Amino acid sequence: MRDYGIAIDIGTSGLRAQSIDLNQDKVLATAITMGHPVPGANVMDHLDFAIDMEKSMARNLILSSLNSLLERLRIDLGRVERVAVCGNPIQLSIFQDMEIRDLAYSGERAKKKLGIENIKRDARVLDAGSLGLNVHPEAEGYIPPAVKHEIGADALAMMYKTDFLTTDEISMVTDYGTNAEMAIKIGNDIITGSAAAGPAIEGQHVGKGMLAAPGAISDIDPREDGLVNTYVLNRDLYKSRGAVIDPNSGEIVEKGEYEAKGITGTGVVALVSTGMDTGLMSPGKINNEENLVRLQKGIEFSQEDLREVGKTIAAFTSGHMTLTQESGISLRDIKNMYMTGATGTYVDAFKAMKLGLVPGTVEKVMQVGNTSLALACDIVRDTGMLDILQETADSIRAKHLMFAESKVFENAFAVEMGVWVQGMPFDQEEGMRKHFGLEPRPPLNPDPDVIRIRERDIHDLGMHGLTVVENVGTVLRGELSECNECGRCIKSCNEEALSLRPDGSVMVIEVNTGRCLGTACKRCERACKSKFLKLHSLKVESGGMV
């Protein structure tokens, strides 16, 4: 008797899984990782790693972590009937061991020159066992379709799990994650796009950043006395009252209900919005003596962090501008905004509007949660949905906009980077927008209708609740028969991802993949003057999640 289903979301910043009792139609347990097992901070790093390293290495890292995660779902995995896996095209292709090189190039000419064919990524049903998941060997595996190579099943999820597809009003939906998938609906036309927003939107690549998990500062409010109120996600991922802090000294003036460990993407948005309101920050600059905000001992936010967030703001703003302008409408025509993903759910929507992450003039904002995991849950419950999703993907495929080929995006991104990273004043920004034929920054609607459809990004954690895996624990390991133990490689690794230890006549090298920056870095290889260290030669060791 097989009574269980499993829903999986392979996100760029972490993996999420839920067990479902199929007889009682209810979620049993949820498990998430606080990082991705493949080295690198964004999906292009993961793609580069998968192409550059031994092909199976990235897949084995994902599989090893997923199988460890499944063990935390409080079910007998031998009684699993079906599994649905959602994610973006790069993650799903690596997971399914499919061709990925076509995803690395946006231009058709470059692909043709290199002899790379575009791969169809339609909906699939196959044995979950053949996917490498440690469940019943006859369990079925369901993979939803991609729309286009940048717009995957996770982007379909954000459209499908809201009423975006059926609304008659001009509306926009955006996943506030590292890949910033977005779409607008004008009449019956749906136009999609995707901008590389970077990891800061999910609280990563920020000094004390973390994903939306217990202990994350998720919101900040200014106070008249110059202090700030912080809010922290509690054990059940609900927003609870955090400490009252002096942001210049980091002094805790009043303790909160739940202790903070770091700051997540929504907290970062709130911090920058608060900083701009109070004069503590201006674009690209923290205006106190140390150029540093302290949100209590050990949780600091630097000018470098502010610039990292600036790149994210520039990507979202430019993407929204490109979608509307290339479609012949104004940002002011958008009536409704649907915000998805953890940041889209927990962020104070008005603060996001102030920074331009949501077009300022929208009338209604709906915050919807993690739609990718929710869609995987829906497929587990009703497998017939796969056909509907395929039809939807086919019907909207033709109207995808490649931002990499858009002059509007190129100009908009240059202007917004000038503001948010280089500190260009807003009045100068208006001049630059005019110069490039971009529409002026829309005025801010002071009273938008904000509807929080979901209080948590994962709506139903199940009767056994949430397990958070702080350290994915995947390791690349190998033996060096030649090494003079100079230690240069260790010193070169700012991420502290590398370790070396003697074992008999060889040196054993280990790379913690959750910390490693991957092929974009390779400082350790370059530091080894004798060229003994080759990341290619290492092998994946099974996960030791903690």
352/332 Cα distance (integer angstroms): 16
CB of 494 to ligand SF4, least distance (A): 7
Using the rule CB under 6 A, give the single segment among 186-194, 244-252, 336-344, 529-537 that binds ligand SF4: 529-537
Query: Closer CB to ligand SF4, residue 431 or residue 502?
Result: 502
Instruction: Report yes or no: 493 and 534 within 8 Å, Cβ to Cβ.
Output: no
Beta carbon nearer to ligand SF4, 321 or 472? 472
Tell me which of 99, 333, 460, 495 binds ligand SF4, using CB under 6 A.
495
Tell me which residues in 358-377 interact with ligand SF4 (CB under 6 A): none
Give CA–CA dist 285/230, Å, rounded.
21
Structure tokens at 297: 């001992």
Angle at alpha carbon of residue 211, lines to 144 and 445, rounded to 5°: 85
Q: % helix / strand / coil in the chain, to the nearest 5?
A: 35, 25, 40
Closest approach of ligand SF4 to the CB of residue 521, in Å: 3
CB of 528 to ligand SF4, least distance (A): 3
Residues in the chain, overall count: 546
Indicate whether 272 belongs to the interface with ligand SF4 (CB under 6 A).
Answer: no
| Binding positions for ligand SF4, 14-73, rule CB under 6 A | 39
Closest CB to ligand SF4 among residues 78, 502: 502
Stretch that binds ligand SF4, among 114-122, 323-331, 348-356, 484-492 (CB under 6 A): 484-492
Minimum CB separation of residue 495 from ligand SF4 in Å reads 4
Number of residues interacting with ligand SF4: please give it, by CB under 6 A: 27
Q: In whole angstroms, what is the distance from residue 310 CA to residue 200 CA?
A: 9
Instruction: Check residue 522 for interaction with ligand SF4 (CB under 6 A).
Output: yes
Between the CA of residue 433 and those of 19, 66, 187, 318, what are the distances in Å? 49, 46, 28, 11
3-state SS assignment for residue 339: strand
Minimal CA–CA distance to 52: which of 522, 503, 409, 493?
Answer: 522
Bridge partners for 509 per DSSP: 478, 500
CB of 53 to ligand SF4, least distance (A): 11
Cβ at position 505, least distance to ligand SF4 in Å: 14
CB of 141 to ligand SF4, least distance (A): 32
Does 105 sit near ligand SF4 (CB under 6 A)?
Answer: no
CA distances from 333 to 325, 328, 363 (A): 11, 10, 10
Whole-number Å distance between alpha carbons of 276 and 412: 22
Interacting residues with ligand SF4 (CB under 6 A): 39, 480, 483-489, 492-493, 495, 497-498, 500, 511, 516-517, 521-524, 527-528, 530, 532-533
